[in-house]
Amino acid sequence: MTPIGASARARLAAFVRSLRANGFATGLGETQDALKVMTSELALRPVYLREAFKALFCSRQQDWQRFDEIFDAFWLGRGMKTAVRASGARPDAARAERRSGFPGFGDKAGSTTAVADRDALDESADLPGEGRSRGASSAEGLSQTDLRHIAEPDALDQAMELAERLARAMRDRLTRRDRRHRRGRRIDMRRTIRASIGHGGTPVDLVRRRRKEKPLRLVMLLDVSGSMSLYSTAFVRFMRGLVERAQDAEAYVFHTRLVHISEALRESDPVRAVERLSLMAQGWSGGTRIGESLASFNRFHAARVLNSRSVVIILSDGYDTGEPGALAQEMAALRKRARRIVWLNPMMGWKDYAPVAGGMQAALPYVDLFAPAHNLASLAALEPYLAKL
């Protein structure tokens, strides 16, 4: 085997992200196998590498049909004229965008159109600032940057759009994802081929998949108090990407009171959406009463929106002006109704952070997953956890 350098590893990681953004069910196992392929003689010729990757990454017929186009565009720079005509971007910028792993999207008038996936993408898109010329490096850099450190208006606008785009891609993958099952109706070709290696390539054991019986219902509660002001705008865009066109997702914001914002986020007209949110946002960036807000949710909304497949996602730093005992009581009531409770805290991404706030201490015993949410990469890390439920 020939060892590969850091640049080749980064290139492969970007290719895997591009496949995931286009609906391919790829994960750590496939990426590790792809690294082994790149250290073999198959990597010496593109045609061999293409066929090896195709067998590894394609688990559905539609993946098989679309793989060649994505591979050629990413690795060989072919098939880009259509994208350039549609977007008006330069060829190097269009290639960079494909490497970014974020499918095009947008909701502003006068936006250009990106063609990251002709079969799945039908929305207009634009990236603010200098356009698409920064491509992959810009998107990758923003995804790793703490949102509170993004001060330049153009970069902040781009981060907001990337947050929404990330959520849309995550939502689509979660709703399309099949589950491995011994009595599944469909054969998982990729895993069947991998399992056949130990039998000399003979598919002795067929790996099957079938649809999840019930999709996950995501219920998100976002803290928009003053201490969360540096993150709340990006989180609203992330919530919009998950909620729009999805009837099995609900969104709320809370500060001194709880506000249901799902219908506002589903507005097709972004101007009307902002107007509706503005009317609801009395108290936005003020104090926070997490316990009282959860009490309002448990009393007036929980019975309607929660079921055995519900995952409650709370985005908050845990600073509560109310009594910790009241918050613990409401978290216990919520725990009885929800399948899982996920608490995303942006301060977990800060150096030397410890959850010592009284509200956070009261909530933690009832939380199934306590994770950071200080940048877009940490939001993306939520998907593998949800995919297993």
The residue ranking higher by pLDDT, 33 or 270, is 33
Pair 231, 345 in one domain: yes
Q: Are residues 192 and 327 in the same domain?
A: no
Higher-confidence position of 275 and 158: 158
Q: Of 76, 92, 111, which one is at a domain's C-terminal end?
A: 76
Give the residue, 286 or 202, on which the prediction is more confident.
202
Measured CA to CA, the distance from residue 238 to residue 236 in angstroms comes to 5
What integer pLDDT is reported at residue 196 of this predicted model?
75
**191 and 267 share one domain:** no
**pLDDT surpasses 50 at 368:** yes
So what's the pLDDT on residue 1?
A: 53
Residues 133, 139, 145, 149: is their CA dihedral positive or negative?
positive
Residue 19 — very low, low, confident or very high, per pLDDT cuts 50/70/90? confident
Residues 178-236 have pLDDT tens digits of 555 555 567 777 777 777 776 677 766 777 766 655 678 999 999 988 888 889 889 98
Residue 118 maps to a domain = no
Considering only residues 351 and 270, tell me which one the structure prediction assigns the higher pLDDT. 351
Above pLDDT 70, what percent of the chain? 71
Domain endpoint, select from 59, 76, 93: 76
Q: Residues 71-82: pLDDT tens digits? A: 888 877 655 433
> Using CA atoms, how far apart are residues 162 and 237, in angstroms rounded to an integer?
9
352 is a domain residue: yes
The pTM for the full model equals 0.60
Compute CA distances 343 → 27, 152, 195, 314, 370, whole Å: 24, 29, 37, 5, 5
Residue 33 lies in a domain: yes
What is the per-residue pLDDT for 104? 27
Is the pLDDT score of 276 beyond 60? yes
Same-domain check for residues 252 and 353: yes
What is the total residue count of the chain? 389
Identify whether residues 192 and 328 lie together within a single domain: no
Domain limits for position 194: 183-211
Q: Which of 61, 76, 91 is the last residue of a domain?
A: 76
pLDDT at position 373, please?
Answer: 92
DSSP label of 145: S
Quote the number of domains for the chain. Answer: 3
107 falls within a domain: no
Same domain flag for 382 and 244 = yes
In a domain, 142, yes or no: no
Which residues lie across from 223 on neighbouring strands? 254
Residue 369 lies in a domain: yes
Residues 203 and 330 occupy one common structural domain: no
Tell which wins on pLDDT, 40 or 362.
Answer: 362
Question: pLDDT class for 369, splitting at 50, 70, 90?
Answer: very high
* Domain presence at residue 138: no
- Domain of 350: which CATH number? 3.40.50.410
Same structural domain for residues 72 and 16?
Answer: yes
The mean-pLDDT minimum among 106-110, 301-305, 323-327, 361-365 falls in: 106-110
Residues 202 and 231 in one domain: no
In this predicted model, which residue has the larger pLDDT, 309 or 99?
A: 309
Please tell me whether residues 207 and 257 are part of one structural domain.
no
**381 in the same domain as 273:** yes
Identify whether residues 207 and 221 lie together within a single domain. no
pLDDT of 135 strictly over 80: no
Q: Is residue 370 part of a domain?
A: yes
Report the 10 Å Cβ neighbour count for 254.
23
